[in-house]
């Protein structure tokens, strides 16, 4: 009898310490202790050996034991049901803080490009893209730069496998060519993209950079439209107080051509290093689409006119965020890139 009581105590401890993390484990508990061949049944069987005068006392103890096992079983079952209802894995503490995941930031050039694109979209411009590996015709020929045109020297070109017929586009004007080839006026697109030039890498020059090209061809498009469009862009991009000025320039694919300057954002026009003490910084090239370019695509220059412009994204970004070294954009230094958090 003493021995039996001691054994019951041991079982009680074992049962109290049971962990049942899965429905299978709860079921195994039931079979082990409460099943037809389970422990409870076999302890009940011990009753036979208990002398008659102790039977009553032992019966009460056994009953207590039974209630205890059933209680533990109900508790384990309820725990399992609760965990599966919340989708929690058993044994996991969901209130623990998670492992932080480093959130990336958008590249400053993407931020500025997106902003440029969204301003022109508001004016009704569609967005177009073209290939970075181009043929000579779309990059040069169609844009009124025949083979021995001296202006080809303005843009040091990377050729593919030294084949003069294939190159990395030197400007996004090649996308203009592809658009006019496919589409008839009215055309109103902007073409953001990467361009390549064979230049020695320094703070002020790189072998690749980004441009946004604009093209508007329709009846009665005038130089006044060009000026007003670009003026709107500058005000949206840099603020209402920014002044613009146009200087006559030369591009083979536009006539007349003009470069556009804005009043220096760094010194407010008083003169500083960025504007080389002139108070003005150049941000883009533009002009009225050359009649020859329109003719190259079967567009009648007597009926249609157009304007085009091209700007460097790095330049705009330099002015907006005061980045003074072009190399920073492609070095992937997180200390630089992390500064642009919060911007879209």
Contact residues for ligand PHE, defined by CB under 6 A: 171, 173, 213, 251, 254, 285-287, 308-310
Q: Which is nearer to ligand PHE, 76 or 212 (CB)?
A: 212
Q: Among 252, 249, 328, which Cα is nearest to 284's?
A: 249
Nearer to ligand PHE, 213 or 261 (CB): 213
How far is Cα 238 from Cα 321, in angstroms, rounded to an integer?
Answer: 11
Q: Of 33 and 251, which CB lies nearer to ligand PHE in the complex structure? A: 251
**How far apart, in whole angstroms, are the C-alpha atoms of residue 275 and residue 295?**
39
Q: Which is nearer to ligand PHE, 229 or 254 (CB)?
A: 254
Nearest-approach distance from CB 312 to ligand PHE, in angstroms: 8
For residues 185 and 214, is the Cβ–Cβ distance under 8 A? no
- The residue whose Cβ lies closest to ligand PHE is 310
CB of 288 to ligand PHE, least distance (A): 9
Q: How far is the CB of 182 from ligand PHE (least distance, A)?
A: 19
- Of 115, 99, 107, nearest to 338 by C-alpha is 107
- Choose between 58 and 309: whose C-beta lies nearer to ligand PHE: 309
CA atoms of 219 and 259, how far apart (whole Å): 24
Chain center to CA of 183: 31
| Shortest distance, position 96 Cβ to ligand PHE, whole Å | 55
Structure tokens at 223: 């130089």
Q: Which CB, 28 or 154, lies closer to ligand PHE?
A: 154
Shortest spacing between CB 341 and ligand PHE, in angstroms? 32
Q: What is the spatial distance between Cα 237 and Cα 316, in angstroms, rounded to a whole number?
A: 9
User: What are φ and ψ of residue 212, in 5° steps?
Assistant: -125, 120
- 191, 157, 163: which is closest to 311 by C-alpha? 191
Q: What minimum distance in Å lies between the beta carbon of 211 and ligand PHE?
A: 6
């Amino acid at each position: 009898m003493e021995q039996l009581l001691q054994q019951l105590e041991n079982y009680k401890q074992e049962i109290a310490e049971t962990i049942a993390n899965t429905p299978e484990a709860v079921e195994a508990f039931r079979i082990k202790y409460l099943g037809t061949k389970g422990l409870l049944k076999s302890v009940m069987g011990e009753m036979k050996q208990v002398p008659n005068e102790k039977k009553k006392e032992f019966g009460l103890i056994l009953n207590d034991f039974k209630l205890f096992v059933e209680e533990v079983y109900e508790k384990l079952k309820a725990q399992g049901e609760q965990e599966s209802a919340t989708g929690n894995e058993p044994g996991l503490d969901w209130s623990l803080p998670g492992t932080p995941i480093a959130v990336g930031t958008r590249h400053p050039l993407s931020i500025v490009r997106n902003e440029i694109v969204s301003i022109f979209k508001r004016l009704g411009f569609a967005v177009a893209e073209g290939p970075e590996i181009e043929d000579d015709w779309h990059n040069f020929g169609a844009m009124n730069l025949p083979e021995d045109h001296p202006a080809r020297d303005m843009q040091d070109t990377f050729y593919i496998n030294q084949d003069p017929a294939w190159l990395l586009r030197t400007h996004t004007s090649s996308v203009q060519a592809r658009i006019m080839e496919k589409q008839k006026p009215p055309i109103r697109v902007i073409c953001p993209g990467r361009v390549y030039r064979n230049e020695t890498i320094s703070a002020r020059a790189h072998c690749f950079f980004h441009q946004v090209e604009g093209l508007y061809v329709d009846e009665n498009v005038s130089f006044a439209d060009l000026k007003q469009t670009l003026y709107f862009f500058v005000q949206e991009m840099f603020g209402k107080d920014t002044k613009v000025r146009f200087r006559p320039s030369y591009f083979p694919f536009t006539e007349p051509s003009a470069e556009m300057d804005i009043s220096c954002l760094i010194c407010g026009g008083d003169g500083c290093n960025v504007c080389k003490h002139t108070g003005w910084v150049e941000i883009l090239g533009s002009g009225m689409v050359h009649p020859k370019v329109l003719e190259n695509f079967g567009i009648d220059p007597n009926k249609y006119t157009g304007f085009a412009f091209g700007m460097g994204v790095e330049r705009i970004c330099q002015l907006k965020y005061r980045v003074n070294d072009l190399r920073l954009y492609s070095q992937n230094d997180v200390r630089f890139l992390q500064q642009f958090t919060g911007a879209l």
